[in-house]
C-alpha cells in the first residue's frame, strides 16, 4: 500500500496539515515538541484504527 497524501484536521497539535507523499524515503525533522511523533501516530491510527498511546480513536 502507498500512502499518497496525509490530511490532518484538529489532530493533536495540528489544526490543519496537508502533505503530499511521493514514493521514496521521507524524513521528519524538527525540534522537540514540534509534532513529528504526532504525524507517525496519525499514520499508525489510519493503518490500524488504534492509537499506539493506548487511547481509543473516539477519544482523539
Measured CA to CA, the distance from residue 19 to residue 7 in angstroms comes to 6
Q: Which residue segment(s) compose the domain that 38 sits in?
A: 5-59
Question: For residue range 6-48, what is the model confidence (pLDDT) as tens digits?
Answer: 999 999 999 999 999 999 999 999 999 999 999 999 999 999 9
Instruction: Report how many domains make up the chain.
Output: 1
Task: Give the model's pLDDT for residue 1.
Answer: 77
Q: What is the largest CA-CA distance in the chain?
A: 33
Q: Is the Cα dihedral 33, 16, 1, 54 positive or negative?
A: positive
Give the end-to-end CA distance of the chain in Å, rounded to a whole number: 25
How large is the average pLDDT for residues 55-59? 58
Location of C-alpha cell 507517525: 40
Amino acid at each position: 500500500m502507498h500512502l499518497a497524501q496525509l490530511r490532518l484536521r484538529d489532530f493533536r497539535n495540528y489544526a490543519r496539515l496537508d502533505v503530499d507523499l511521493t514514493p521514496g524515503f521521507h524524513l521528519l525533522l524538527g525540534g522537540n515538541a514540534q509534532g513529528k511523533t504526532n504525524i507517525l501516530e496519525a499514520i499508525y491510527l489510519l493503518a490500524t484504527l488504534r492509537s499506539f498511546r493506548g487511547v481509543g480513536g473516539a477519544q482523539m
